[in-house]
Chain A
Amino acid sequence: MIFADIIFVIIILITLGGALMTVLSGSIIYALMGLVTTMFGVAGLYIYLNAPFLAMMQILIYVGAISVLITFAIMLIGPLYKKPKEWSYPLKFILAAVVALFSFFVFAKVILKTQWTVLSKPFAISTKDIGRLLFDRLTFPFELISLVIVVAIIGAVMLSLYSRGEK
């Protein structure tokens, strides 16, 4: 099982490296590439958590849909060399790092102090079970999510159409 450990550590490094590249890179398009890397890493972690359906959905929705949406927005904003650099003055970076590290250590303390009741049962949830749960118990939230997405798409179209005339 040492091979699985090596692959797992590589996936963790991909995830954390992508997250750091997202935050610290100088331009928006590099940040987006870092986000895609992080999403692939999280998909690998889902596979280690015995959830291959969620890994496929992660790649399809996040990498396939949301990244393309953000890429279109970056293209609509225009050439990047006319925009100011992402690096602002260093005091702001220090303060932001203090805030992030403070939240990190607070939650790390909470995680380490809590005694989680980890059950050692074998985990055998298939895609069929997820679908049965979605269409049996969680039917109302599922339909509500679809309504939210329809309203969001209509709202985005209305926002970008009706502001073109005014100015």
Chain B
Amino acid sequence: MTGIGLYNSLNVYLFIGLALLACGILGVVYRRTLISMLISIELIMNGAGLNLVAFNRFVAPESAYGMAFTLFIMGIAAAEAAIALAIIILILRRYRHVEGAKLKEMKD
């Protein structure tokens, strides 16, 4: 009894990464608070890492560069989350809110 072997096709993983990217774009454009935008950016980074590992598994199976770069993406995501949360705390202290649409002092 052989199944359909869905996990052995590259396109399935690419479409899951693409769905994560689309959800992340929707969140970045649509969400109001800055923390929700940061969470959506983490979604996009998850999709990118999934794409890299899928390409490493199916297109270049004899090297490990995709996995190494996914580890690098995780480190970059940690650093980016730390800096962004520090900036969000600063914005909260100065303006008493964390809404992205109300930060328009530089626009005037």
A: which residues have CB within 8 A of B?
1-5, 8-9, 12, 15-16, 19-20, 22-23, 28, 31-32, 35, 38-39, 42, 45-46, 48-51, 53-54, 57-58, 61-62, 65-66, 69-70, 72-74, 76-77, 83-84, 86, 88, 92-93, 95-97, 99-101, 103-104, 107-108, 111-112, 116-119, 121-123, 125, 129-130, 133-134, 138, 141-142, 145-146, 148-149, 151-153, 155-156, 159-160, 163, 167
Contact = CB atoms under 8 A, between A and B. Distances in A.
B79 A152 contact: yes
Mostly, the A contact residues are: helix
A51 B57 contact: yes
A149 B83 CA distance: 10
B71 A54 contact: yes
Given A19-B19, A65-B78, A133-B68, A118 B46 contact: no
B26 A96 contact: yes
A159 B20 contact: no
Contact of B5 (A5, A35, A104, A146): A5
Nearest to A78: B92
22 contacts: A1-B5, A12-B16, A16-B16, A20-B23, A23-B23, A42-B49, A51-B67, A73-B35, A73-B89, A83-B33, A86-B31, A103-B21, A104-B19, A116-B58, A119-B59, A125-B67, A138-B68, A152-B78, A153-B79, A155-B83, A156-B86, A159-B83
Contacts of A42: 20, 46, 49-50
Contacts of B25: 96, 99-100, 103
Contact of B10 (A12, A31, A116, A156): A116
B85 A156 contact: yes
Contact of A1 (B3, B15, B83, B99): B3
Contact of B81 (A16, A69, A134): A69
Interface residues of B, number: 78
B1 interface: yes
Mostly, the B contact residues are: helix
B106 interface: no
B77 A4 contact: no
Contacts of A57: 71, 74
Contacts, number: 236
A8 B27 CA distance: 26
B10 A5 contact: no
Contacts of A99: 25-26, 29
A1 B30 contact: no
Given A35-B39, A61-B78, A101-B22, A130 B64 contact: yes
